[in-house]
Amino acid sequence: SRLEGLSVDPLQVVGKEMRFLTQNIQQLLGSGHPMLDTVAKYYTKSEGKHMRPLLVLLMSRAISTTPKSSRRPSVPTATRINDPISPSTILSDTNPSSLQSISVSPPVSDAFEGSDILPSQRRLAEITELIHTASLLHDDVIDSSISRRSSPSANISFGNKMAVLAGDFLLGRASVALARLRDAEVIELLATVIANLVEGEFMQLKNTAQEEAKPIWTEDTLTYYLQKTYLKSASLISKSCRAAALLGQCSPDIVDAAYLYGRNLGLAFQLVDDMLDYTTSGEELGKPAGADLELGLATAPLLFAWRKHKELGVLVSRKFTGVGDVQMARDIVLRSDGIEQTRALAQEYADKAIQAISNFPPSEAKEGLLDMCEKATKRRK
């Protein structure tokens, strides 16, 4: 086809939508309390990759030309679009009939007239970024992290209490925006994501906080890690891709393909994240490097190293708290093929993501989705 061999910049394929995204997110997060307003918007103003909304928008465009399914009742367009937007203030929100600060979907401006991406899909993209950002606010508290995106983290700038509350506020606003999509299946998916994020984080805590006297490496070790990784990272990406296809009234096979794409890409993405924690400097990452071992976490590179270097077991069991444990574990991992195996597994998942959408009709947006798979495995930060 015409597109083959052409490299497509995914950001450019949905560039116009992405330019409106940040602006709309600011509106969703408006609070009458100036301090809450500041903390809630803090991470949305830094240079994030916006990977999740980008994927939702690319997915929405890529599936826009596939056959529609009449399986799901569609919501009358009028109620989606014409709800009023009024400035969000604490006062207006105390009036139950006036939580109008969040319209059903982003306002339809001339810029999007007749667009193949629905307003509800654009709103979904914003919701994914809100949920992701909420999880980062909470994560940096849990990890006692000092920096994110090359700036002090929110917990450092505003303290733990405000960071946690700001995260909760984001989840609240995400929930309102979600409810206003008036699509029970999509609401259920994204609500499940929020629960999954917490479950993933708990599995990670248990992994490190639980004392099994001398853990032995088994195949379950990797299975547990991958399940945790799905919940913590791939759930949001996969279920939001699925939701984009549902909002697009796609047929069940397209809905499943969108989910599988997101699931596999999400797993690849987090595997690479865990690899970069070993291989890249904190300066380049914009957040502390080598943080996982310091936090007592055994991620993929270490788990692969452990399979051959059984002496890691005792370090894992005490969460690398012994004198010199972190350095010793790091040295063993770097001498082993743990990094290479992690990279190879990430590549396997990326290939599965590519495979999942192989039946999508050719389009620039599809090329963008494929390019995201390449970027996920090749990225340096």
| Residue numbers at the binding site for Mg ion (CB under 5 A) | 139, 143
d(CA 11, CA 173): 26
Q: Report, in Å, the least distance between residue 255 CB and Mg ion.
A: 30
Residue 331 is encoded by which pair of tokens? 């040295």
Q: State the binding partner of 303 from Mg ion, ligand FPP, none, CB within 5 to 8 A by kind.
A: none
Which residue, among 19, 105, 13, has the nearest Cα to 55 in the 3D structure?
A: 13
Q: Which residue has the tokens 């499940």?
A: 192
Partner touching 233 among Mg ion, ligand FPP, none, CB below 5 to 8 Å by kind: ligand FPP
Torsion of CA 312, 329, 139, 281, to 10 degrees: -150
Maximum pairwise Cα distance, the chain: 64
Shortest distance (Å) from residue 30 CB to ligand FPP: 20
CA distance 331 to 343: 18
d(CA 67, CA 258): 14
Shortest distance in whole angstroms from residue 131 CB to ligand FPP: 6
Smallest gap from Cβ 136 to ligand FPP, in A, equals 6
What's the rounded Cα separation, in Å, for the pair 132 and 52? 8
- For ligand FPP, the closer CB: 143 or 183: 143
Nearest to 200 by CA among 166, 167, 235, 165: 235
Residues binding ligand FPP (CB under 6 A): 131, 134-135, 138-139, 142-143, 145, 171, 194, 197-198, 201, 232-233, 287, 291
Is the separation of the CB atoms in 241 and 51 below 8 Å? no
Which entry of Mg ion, ligand FPP, none binds 325, CB below 5 to 8 A by partner kind?
Answer: none
Q: How far is the CB of 139 from Mg ion (least distance, A)?
A: 4
Which does residue 135 touch among Mg ion, ligand FPP, none (CB within 5 to 8 A, set by kind)?
ligand FPP
Q: How far apart are CA 118 and CA 246, in angstroms?
A: 11
Rounded CA-CA distance 316/215 in Å is 8
The phi and psi torsions of 83 (rounded to 5 degrees) equal -65, 140
**Min CB(105)–Mg ion separation in Å:** 32
Which residues are bridge partners to 203 per DSSP? Answer: none
Tell me whether residue 260 or residue 275 sits nearer to ligand FPP (CB atom): 275
In the complex, least distance from residue 160 CB atom to ligand FPP, rounded to whole angstroms? 13
* For ligand FPP, the closer CB: 16 or 149: 149
Task: Kindly tell me which of 258 and 285 has the beta carbon lying closer to ligand FPP.
Answer: 285
Pick one of Mg ion, ligand FPP, none as the site partner of residue 197 (Cβ within 5 to 8 A by kind).
ligand FPP
Residue with the CB atom nearest Mg ion in the bound state: 143
364 binds, among Mg ion, ligand FPP, none (CB under 5 to 8 A by kind): none
